[in-house]
Chains A and B, each alone.
Chain A
Amino acid sequence: MTAGGGRKDVALRHRLAERGIDRTLWLLLPGVAFLVVLFCYPFAYGLGLSFQPKEGGGPFANYRTFFSDPYLRETVWITLRLAVPAALINVLASVPVAFRTRGRFRGRRTVTTLLVIPVTLGTVLTAEGLLGYLGPAGWFNKALLEIGLIDQPLELVHNYWGVLASLLITGFPFAYLLTLSYLTGIDPSLEQAAATLGAGWWQRFRTITLPLLTPGLAITFCLTFVLAYSVFPSAQLVGDPRGSTHVISIEAYDAAFKQFDYSLGSAIAMIMALVMLAVVALVLVWRSTFYRGATGGKG
């Protein structure tokens, strides 16, 4: 390129910049295309498909089928009953653990690695482990029987508790990592300042750390909730897929791949997405009532 061409190029960039256009952002195009092809298009296609029921009966027939059948309708609540407690417990449990592990201490890396390892296991391996450990003939029940605490094995798998345990094991590392990063973003001198002003540890936590952490915890809750709401393998493997853990994704799978009614399957997937969106929206509205600016001490 000649020198003159270079100058013209700079001038063009300045003119574009003055109108708020940054040409570098065009580099995002492949990513956007990817998103459109792999997410937006299938989503729109599924939405369209859900309004074209296999058996006819108008565009809303699938949705009518779902909400008129108590067995299907119930799945929304069954899944919420699993996902909301799982997300809440994960978030609440991650706070004290993150608190304890935020500073520098010997073996910090080992501890955080151990805490995060369950992410790498995958749900199937976790389910297998739970069956072996919490099952009627598992170590846990055996140990309780041996020391005489119980005289009948506890039913901890193939029901609600098995799935909840699985969701906690796989969801906690996510919640912990997110909470830890939000917590370490809060300047420790804020708590020190509160201490010099006479606040004890509980007052410091309640009046300074918690309000600054809450927006982060809300995001953490949303992400772990969405993960938990789409629970599928563990509901099958360690749950009671026809009863107490008859979650919504099972019904979507059955409709699409057992009855080959893609249209009904799509409709159930759309309902699932709507429920998740509603919960996330609710949490985000609540989050917006908190201070969400910088937490670095200088304000």
Chain B
Amino acid sequence: MARIDSLALDGVTRRFGAHAALSDLNLEIAGGEFIALLGPSGCGKSTALNCLAGLLPLTSGSIRLDGHRIDHLPPERRGFGMVFQNYALFPHLTVRANIGFGLKMAGVPKADAATRVERALDLVHLTDQARKRPGQLSGGQQQRVAIARAVVLEPRLVLMDEPLSNLDAKLRLEMRTEIRRLHQSLGLTTVYVTHDQEEALSLADRLVLLKDGRVQQTGTGEDVYLHPANRYVASFMGYRNMLTLPVLDADREQAVLAVGGERLTGRNRGSVGAGQRATAALRPEDITVTTAPGGLRAAVEVVEYHGREMVVQGRLKDGQEVHFTTPERLAPGDDVRLTAPEHRVLVFAEGPS
């Protein structure tokens, strides 16, 4: 395995006409790392991947692999493996020929290529399907062919463009584990594009959150999950409650917000001051229903049964919607009191993040 030491993206920018699909992406990837580019559609994550693959030229910036510039190289000379969202399997070739395509292009001797293809087939459990054409396979099998085809060359870097988005929920979970297993057992360096925060958290060593072509936050899953850098990242990472509230009192650490006549205390993440309006970000699962006095009063409106717990939508006294989970059997119309630990309430400055 030609393991890389580092891949450095420096000010990578791609414009389409006046529209900047990707602006000033700076990222240093270490060998063996699993990086997820995360964001909604149109955030620039696929553009970044295509720039890395060489399928899109950069408008400005540079990409260096172990110190050598590679951004001027065409895709066929970069030696990266890529898994496409629609798999892009060659429909006229058998599974075996699909996987062996790259080896043939590289001029690997036939006997050697054959053993490597067999090993790759074994790796993705497709030895029995080797003679079939892609059209005769299920979605999950096609997906595994696409992965085998990309990794059989033992590429320096594997790029994956939402490879699980066309699969059903159960298969997606299985393939997720499979991808992580391959990454570890082959010692790959992987850049993975997805819009699914759960997928990114479970797979990646580090996440890069993008919005409108700009990086919002780079960090480990825990960083991004527990310490979102701004309102946008928070809302993307599962902080479903974004309450806009006036600030009663604030210092560097804490902010106290008013909800109707009640109070909500949280961590001051946006250097907000008293008298301003701020956004309190809260995960539904961090809210608990309490019988003790204090807390925020809310009226239950919608109750969804989710097995172990209920997902409830309620309305606070100031009229804002609030989402929370509880094991208690609530019914629409019930009045409840809600609390959340102070360190789980993140207070950001109001307005565009």
Contact partner of A212 (CB less than 8 A), chosen from B79, B91, B101, is B91
- A294: interface (CB < 8 Å): yes
- B325: interface (CB < 8 Å): no
- B169: interface (CB < 8 Å): no
- B213: interface (CB < 8 Å): no
Given contacts A189-B84, A294-B91, A297-B91, contact A195 B74 (CB under 8 A): yes
The residues of A that contact B89 with a CB separation of less than 8 Å are 193, 297-299
- A196: interface (CB < 8 Å): yes
Residue of B nearest to A299 (CB): B134
CB distance from B152 to the nearest CB of A (A): 9
Taking residues whose C-beta sits less than 8 angstroms from the other chain, chain A's interface range is 20 to 34
Contact partner of B105 (CB less than 8 A), chosen from A187, A190, A198, is A198
- B53: interface (CB < 8 Å): yes
Given contacts A187-B86, A193-B82, A198-B106, contact A299 B135 (CB under 8 A): yes
Q: B142–A298 contact, CB under 8 A?
A: yes
- B92: interface (CB < 8 Å): yes
Contact partner of B133 (CB less than 8 A), chosen from A194, A203, A290, A299, is A299
A203 to B92, CA, bound (A): 15
Q: B102–A291 contact, CB under 8 A?
A: no
Contact partner of A299 (CB less than 8 A), chosen from B54, B77, B81, B142, is B142
From 173 to 214 in chain A, residues with beta carbon under 8 angstroms from any chain B beta carbon are: 187, 189-190, 192-200, 203, 207-208, 211-212
From 33 to 54 in chain B, residues with beta carbon under 8 angstroms from any chain A beta carbon are: 53-54
A33-76: contact bitstring with B at CB < 8 Å (1 yes, 0 no)? 00000000000000000000000000000000000000000000
- A293: interface (CB < 8 Å): yes
The residues of B that contact A193 with a CB separation of less than 8 Å are 82, 84, 88-90, 149
The residues of A that contact B149 with a CB separation of less than 8 Å are 193, 197
A25 to B343, CA, bound (A): 69
From 193 to 249 in chain A, residues with beta carbon under 8 angstroms from any chain B beta carbon are: 193-200, 203, 207-208, 211-212
Given contacts A192-B55, A192-B84, contact A295 B91 (CB under 8 A): yes
The residues of A that contact B82 with a CB separation of less than 8 Å are 192-193, 196
A198 to B153, CA, bound (A): 10
Q: B91–A189 contact, CB under 8 A?
A: no
B79, B87, B91: residue with the most chain A Cβ atoms closer than 10 Å: B91
Contact partner of A291 (CB less than 8 A), chosen from B76, B87, B88, B91, is B91
The residues of B that contact A192 with a CB separation of less than 8 Å are 53, 55, 75, 82, 84, 88
The residues of B that contact A295 with a CB separation of less than 8 Å are 91
Contact partner of A297 (CB less than 8 A), chosen from B79, B86, B106, is B86
- B80: interface (CB < 8 Å): yes
CB distance from A20 to the nearest CB of B (A): 25
Given contacts A294-B135, A299-B133, contact A198 B76 (CB under 8 A): yes
A293 to B89, CA, bound (A): 13
B137-154: contact bitstring with A at CB < 8 Å (1 yes, 0 no)? 100001000000110010
CB distance from B98 to the nearest CB of A (A): 9
CB distance from A207 to the nearest CB of B (A): 8
A297 to B139, CA, bound (A): 12
A293 to B91, CA, bound (A): 8
Q: B88–A212 contact, CB under 8 A?
A: no
The residues of B that contact A297 with a CB separation of less than 8 Å are 84, 86-89, 91
The residues of A that contact B105 with a CB separation of less than 8 Å are 194, 197-199, 203
The residues of A that contact B134 with a CB separation of less than 8 Å are 298-299
CB distance from A91 to the nearest CB of B (A): 20
A113-153: contact bitstring with B at CB < 8 Å (1 yes, 0 no)? 00000000000000000000000000000000000000000
A193 to B55, CA, bound (A): 10
B117-137: contact bitstring with A at CB < 8 Å (1 yes, 0 no)? 000000000000000011111
Q: B76–A200 contact, CB under 8 A?
A: yes
A290 to B91, CA, bound (A): 11
CB distance from A123 to the nearest CB of B (A): 38
The residues of A that contact B54 with a CB separation of less than 8 Å are 195-196
Given contacts A297-B87, A299-B135, contact A211 B102 (CB under 8 A): no
A194 to B54, CA, bound (A): 12
CB distance from B33 to the nearest CB of A (A): 20
A212, A293, A294: residue with the most chain B Cβ atoms closer than 10 Å: A293
CB distance from A299 to the nearest CB of B (A): 3
The residues of A that contact B159 with a CB separation of less than 8 Å are 196
From 64 to 111 in chain B, residues with beta carbon under 8 angstroms from any chain A beta carbon are: 74-82, 84, 86-92, 101-102, 105-106
Given contacts A293-B135, A294-B135, contact A199 B76 (CB under 8 A): yes
The residues of A that contact B87 with a CB separation of less than 8 Å are 297-299
Given contacts A197-B149, A293-B135, A299-B134, contact A190 B75 (CB under 8 A): no
A71-86: contact bitstring with B at CB < 8 Å (1 yes, 0 no)? 0000000000000000
A274-299: contact bitstring with B at CB < 8 Å (1 yes, 0 no)? 00000000000000001101111111
A298 to B82, CA, bound (A): 15
CB distance from A76 to the nearest CB of B (A): 36
A192 to B134, CA, bound (A): 17
A-B contact pairs, 19 of them (CB 8 A): A190-B88, A190-B90, A193-B84, A195-B54, A195-B74, A196-B53, A196-B80, A197-B76, A197-B101, A197-B153, A198-B153, A200-B76, A203-B105, A290-B92, A297-B86, A297-B91, A298-B134, A298-B142, A299-B137
What are the 9 A-B residue pairs with the smallest beta carbon separation, nearest first?
Answer: A299-B134, A291-B92, A197-B102, A193-B88, A299-B135, A195-B75, A189-B88, A198-B105, A196-B82
Question: A-contacting residues of B (Cβ < 8 Å)?
Answer: 53-55, 74-82, 84, 86-92, 101-102, 105-106, 133-137, 142, 149-150, 153, 159
